[in-house]
Chain A
Amino acid sequence: DVKVTQSSRYLVKRTGEKVFLECVQDMDHENMFWYRQDPGLGLRLIYFSYDVKMKEKGDIPEGYSVSREKKERFSLILESASTNQTSMYLCASSLVAAQETQYFGPGTRLLVL
């Protein structure tokens, strides 16, 4: 079974703090993704990585950066958290092609005060 884990289930941060969300997958998948989910808006892609040190912007990259130093780990960084970044963040991975089935972590619910 593919396992995708995220470092925290719930996180509370203050405006202006730097926030790190970590994601680890254990199935040697090439692709990893970060989404955010807001009510009524579905999952929106923030960033995507298709290989170590490679990244591409998704639909809503503003205010975020990512890091992929190892194949199994993909980090999402909020350089200076703002209240409009309060959301559910989901990490996912897929084997080779980004169009394949994605396997998701349980999500991190972030509250920025």
Chain B
Amino acid sequence: ILNVEQSPQSLHVQEGDSTNFTCSFPSSNFYALHWYRWETAKSPEALFVMTLNGDEKKKGRISATLNTKEGYSYLYIKGSQPEDSATYLCAFSGNAGNMLTFGGGTRLMVKP
């Protein structure tokens, strides 16, 4: 079983704060790294798929970077809003298999 870890496990920030969290994954046999956002009582939804070392993706105030050589990805949220409160999941896929392996998630709570 592949080891995909996310830190921190949970995070409380004030509205307007910028924040970031980490996903670490195996640095060999890399195919893609996915980020999902999972709001309470909703379905997880895809944020980004990243495939190349050095990739940077942006969607509004959320951005992500990828370092496949050292096996980590950062997710950044600029100026957090209460509606950003959710669990953020990363998922790794490697060449050897077809499955996504998910990390444990980072639960973000933004206080107004």
Q: Which residues of A contact B (CB under 8 A)?
A: 4, 35, 40-45, 48, 58-59, 90, 97-107
Q: Which residues of B contact A (CB under 8 A)?
A: 1, 4, 6, 9, 31-32, 34, 36, 41-46, 49, 89, 91, 93, 98-100, 102-105
Query: Which of A48, A90, A104 has a CB less than 8 Å from the CB of B99?
Result: A48
Task: State the Cβ distance, A38 to closest chain B Cβ, in Å.
Answer: 10
Q: Which residues of A contact B41 (CB under 8 A)?
A: 106
Whether B104 and A107, one on each chain, are in contact in the complex, defined by CB atoms closer than 8 angstroms, is no
A48-B99, A58-B99, A59-B1 known; A99+B31 contact, CB < 8 A:
yes
A-B contact pairs, 16 of them (CB 8 A): A42-B6, A42-B89, A42-B104, A42-B105, A43-B91, A43-B102, A48-B99, A59-B1, A99-B93, A99-B98, A99-B99, A99-B100, A103-B46, A104-B44, A106-B41, A106-B43
CA distance A42 to B25 in the complex (A): 14
CA distance A58 to B99 in the complex (A): 9
Q: Give the interface centre of A90, A98, A101 by most chain B CB atoms within 10 Å.
A: A101
Query: Which of A58, A101, A106, A107 has a CB less than 8 Å from the CB of B34?
Result: A101
Whether A43 and B89, one on each chain, are in contact in the complex, defined by CB atoms closer than 8 angstroms, is yes
Task: State the Cβ distance, B91 to closest chain A Cβ, in Å.
Answer: 8
Of chain B, the residue at the smallest CB distance from A9 is: B41
Whether B45 and A98, one on each chain, are in contact in the complex, defined by CB atoms closer than 8 angstroms, is no
CA distance A15 to B9 in the complex (A): 32
CA distance A100 to B93 in the complex (A): 9
Of chain B, the residue at the smallest CB distance from A94 is: B100
Q: Which residues of B contact A100 (CB under 8 A)?
A: 49
Whether A41 and B104, one on each chain, are in contact in the complex, defined by CB atoms closer than 8 angstroms, is yes
Q: Which residues of B contact A106 (CB under 8 A)?
A: 41-43
Whether B44 and A98, one on each chain, are in contact in the complex, defined by CB atoms closer than 8 angstroms, is no
